[in-house]
A = this chain, B = another copy of it.
Amino acid sequence: MLAEIITIGDEILIGQIVDTNSAWMAQQLNNAGISVKQISSVSDDKQHILTALAEAAKRADIILITGGLGPTKDDITKNTLAEYFGVGMVENQAALDNVLRIFEKYNRPMLDINRLQAQVPANCEVIVNKNGTAPGMWFNQDGKIYMSMPGVPFEMMYLMEEEVIPKLKTLFKLPVIIHKTILTVGEGESFLAERIADIEDSLPAHIKLAYLPKLGSVRLRLSGHGDNENELRAEINDYAAKIVERVGNFVVAEEDIPLEKAILNYMTEKGLTLSVAESCTGGYISHLFTQHAGSSKVFFGGAISYSYELKESILGVKNETLWQHGAVSEETVVEMVEGALLNFKSDYAIAVTGIAGPDGGLPDKPVGTVWIAVASAKKTVKKKFTFGNKRQQNIERSATSALFMLNNLLKDVEK
C-alpha cells in the first residue's frame, strides 16, 4: 500500500517555514504498514495543485494533502479539489456545527468568511476537526483515497491519529513494515560499512540497510517488508544482533533514539543524576534532555550563565579567573563544571563556554572557539574545540560534542 503526501502553501516554497508535518505523517503511515512513495510541496496555485494530485494518484493509493484550508483568499485547496473531482461545493452541517461550537467556546463573533469554512466539495465525507474550524475531507474516488487536512500541526495530528489511520486500517489489509535502528558514535560511515560488509551482502531482498550519518554519529537502519510481523521482526533482530556483535564498541542504542535519550536511559538505569552550566549553548543542551519524557529522574537542571555575574553568583566561578583567563577558557570551564557539581548536587555535570558568534571573536579566540567540560566526583575531562563562524551550527556542534564527552565519561567511570 503506497501513500503520497502533498503539502500546499507558498510559505514552504519560499522557505519561510520548515515542513515538519510530512516527517510526522510519514512516521504514522509507516507504523501502520503504509509506505510513503513521495512527499511533494507545491504552491497555492490551482493548476499546480491539480497536476500534483494527478501525478500522485498515478503512483499511490492514498493521497494525503495538508494546507491551504484557511478562511482567507490565498487558501484555494478546497475549490481546487472540487474542480479536480468535477463536483460543486455544498455547506456541510457537521462542519458548520463545529465552526459554531468553536466560536462559542472562545466567545467570539462569527464572520461570514468563517461560515465559508463549512463549504466542502459535494463528494467528500467530512471528518470533523475538533481542534479547528477547517474540516478534514475524505474522498474515495476511482479506487483511490484522498484526505485533505489543515496544515496547522496539532489539528493535522489529531485528525491523523484519531481518524485517518484508524479508518485506513479498517479499509485495507496492510503489510508489515519494520524498521530497526542502531545508534553508533565514534566511527565513520565508511569504516562501519567495511566492518559489516559481509553482513550487508547477506541481507535478503526484502531487508535494506541504510547509513544515516549526523555530526559524528551514524545510525544504521534495517528496514524490512513482509506479511508476518513476528517472523519479520525475528529476522531483522537477527541481522541487527550480528551488526551489534561486530561493531559493539560504538553502539550506544539499539533503537531509534537520539544520543541524549540514550544517555538518559543509561543514567536512569544506573540511578545517576545530571546538571548543566551552559553559556554559549544558551539552554539548548537542557532543552535536548528535557524534551524527553521522564528526564526529570536524571536531570536536575542548572544554570544558563550568559553573563559574567551569573557565572560567579550561580556557579561560583571566581572573579579573578574570569578577568585573568576570560569567560572562554580552560580555567573557567573547569570552575563552571565543578561549580555545577557542587551547587546542584548531581552525580555528573556538563559545562560549555564559547563564542557562538557572529560577533565577540578575539584574535586569540576567534568565533567558534568553545571549551567543554564534563565531570563526575571522580574525574573531570575538558576539551577545546574550534568550530566555524555560524552561530546555529556552533550551538548544535557544541551540544553534540558535550553529549559525546558525557557518554564517554559515563562509560569510562561507570563500567
Contacts and interface: CB of A to CB of B under 8 A. Distances in A.
A28 B14 CA distance: 9
B154 A393 contact: yes
Given A283-B278, A358-B293, A307 B300 contact: yes
A390 to B, nearest CB: 8
Interface string A276-302: 101111111111011101111001111
B304 A283 contact: yes
Nearest to A287: B283
A30 to B, nearest CB: 5
Given A73-B200, A209-B74, A304-B301, A190 B310 contact: no
A246 to B, nearest CB: 15
A22 to B, nearest CB: 7
Interface residues of A, number: 110
Contacts of A37: 13, 42-43, 48
B71 A179 contact: no
A38 B12 CA distance: 9
A395 B395 CA distance: 20
A50 interface: no
Interface stretch (A137-145, A210-218, A235-243, A377-385): A210-218
A308 to B, nearest CB: 10
A295 B309 contact: no
Contact of A14 (B72, B179, B278, B291): B179
Interface of A: 10-20, 22-30, 35-44, 48, 52, 55, 70-74, 108, 111, 113-114, 152, 154, 179, 181, 188-191, 193-194, 200, 208-214, 219, 221, 223, 256, 275-276, 278-287, 289-291, 293-296, 299-307, 309-310, 313-314, 343-345, 356-360, 388, 390-393, 395
The 6 closest A-B pairs by CB, nearest first: A282-B290, A283-B286, A15-B27, A15-B26, A283-B283, A301-B306
Given A12-B39, A38-B43, A282-B295, 10 more contacts: A12-B26, A14-B30, A16-B181, A37-B42, A39-B41, A73-B209, A286-B286, A290-B306, A295-B306, A302-B304
